[in-house]
Amino acid sequence: MKLYVGQSAPDFTLPSHLDKDVSLSDYLGKNIVLVFYPKAWTPI
Amino acid sequence: MDAQVLGVSIDHIPCLQAWAESLGGINYPLMSDFWPHGRVANLYGVFRDKEGDSERAIFVIDKRGYIRYIDIHDIDHQPDNDVVLEVLRRVDPEAALRSPAPPPLNPDEIRLPHGGVVMYCTRWCPGCRRARVWFQANKVDYIEVDIDVTPGAADQVKKWANGTRTTPTFDIDGTILVGYDEKKVEQAIKEKITR
């Protein structure tokens, strides 16, 4: 599936390195920069 | 800057923790898309099937949950922070000056757009495809709400469409049109938008 500018961002929940699950919707009301990294140990 | 950074990679948690530690600690969540493998990357259309990892990609999402910017980078290149900051300023100029963010409203209310041309649709429905083509040909600015993935959107359509998930359904500045009828859509846009 391809997303487009103007669409709602699909919600999801994933485990995080801070030992807790994180959902996109936890941050509703904030601007979010969602970054996909191909792999750890690559530049951020 | 008043923005939350969220990182996603297909690595498993111990790997992300080690990585974060090696960087002297990262204060935003690094999320593991390890299992089911690449599910979220797939959801965002950035999973690379052959390699089993994701593209290097940035999505800027505004306070109401809309995608405002998509950047899919060459895998070897690092995204440019300045570009992202510039996008954030454009999306929310006040945020540069003000923090913290206001409390979130009722999610159902704030996630569904209103005003202008909004099409409630699915990725596959034939009527939606025809409507996209028509919008493009007529240079109509519109927002798509995918009812398969947007919380509350399917329920909203059902309310308008006598309990059915009819797509496309349009909200043209308050005029609700259930199903795709080019003439009616054109008429509504003439009355509501181009007036």
Q: In this structure, what are the phi and psi dihedrals at residue B92, rounded to the nearest 5 degrees?
A: -150, 80
Report CB contact under 8 Å: A28, B23.
no
Q: In this structure, what are the phi and psi dihedrals at residue A36, rounded to the nearest 5 degrees?
A: -100, 125
The pLDDT assigned to B44 comes to: 95
Chain B nearest-CA distance from A42, in A, is: 9
Chain B nearest-CA distance from A5, in A, is: 5
Contacts of A40 in chain B (CB under 8 A): 9, 11, 15-16, 18-19, 30
Listed in sequence order, the residues at least 6 apart from B134 whose beta carbon sits closer than 8 Å to its beta carbon are B140, B182, B185
Nearest CA in chain B to A27: B4
The pLDDT assigned to B99 comes to: 38
Q: Which of B135, B122, B126, B119 lies closest to B177 in space, CA to CA? A: B119
The pLDDT assigned to B71 comes to: 85
Residue B23: count of CB within 10 angstroms of its CB? 12
Strands B142-146 and B56-61: unpaired
DSSP B43: H
The pLDDT assigned to B96 comes to: 53
Q: How far apart are CA A39 and CA A22, in angstroms?
A: 19
Nearest CA in chain A to B113: A8
**ipTM, interface predicted TM-score of the complex:** 0.93
Report CB contact under 8 Å: B146, A18.
no
- 3-class state of residue B89 by DSSP: helix
The pLDDT assigned to B23 comes to: 77
Report CB contact under 8 Å: B63, A28.
yes
Residue B33: count of CB within 10 angstroms of its CB? 26
Q: Which of A31, A23, A7 lies closest to B31 in space, CA to CA? A: A23
Nearest beta carbon to residue A6 from set B17, B59, B144: B144
Give the mean pLDDT per block of 10 residues along chain A (44 residues).
87 93 93 87 65
The pLDDT assigned to B169 comes to: 95
Nearest CA in chain A to B117: A6
Residue type present at position A10: P
Any idea of the CA torsion for B127, B130, B135, B137, to the nearest 10 degrees?
-170
Burial B73-86 (b: 16+ CB within 10 A, else e): eeeeeebeeeebee
The pLDDT assigned to B192 comes to: 84
The pLDDT assigned to B104 comes to: 42
The pLDDT assigned to B80 comes to: 59
| pTM for the model | 0.56
Domains of chain B: 7-96 (3.40.30.10), 107-192 (3.40.30.10)
Hunting for tokens 């995204």 — which residue is that? Answer: B79
Listed in sequence order, the residues at least 6 apart from B57 whose beta carbon sits closer than 8 Å to its beta carbon are A35, A36, B44, B46, B70, B71, B72, B73
In a structure prediction context, what are the per-residue pLDDT tens digits for chain B, which is 195 residues long? Answer: 578 889 999 999 998 888 888 877 788 899 999 999 999 999 999 999 888 888 888 899 998 899 988 888 766 666 556 667 777 777 776 665 543 333 444 554 446 888 889 999 988 888 999 999 999 999 998 888 988 777 788 889 999 999 898 999 999 999 999 999 999 999 999 998 775
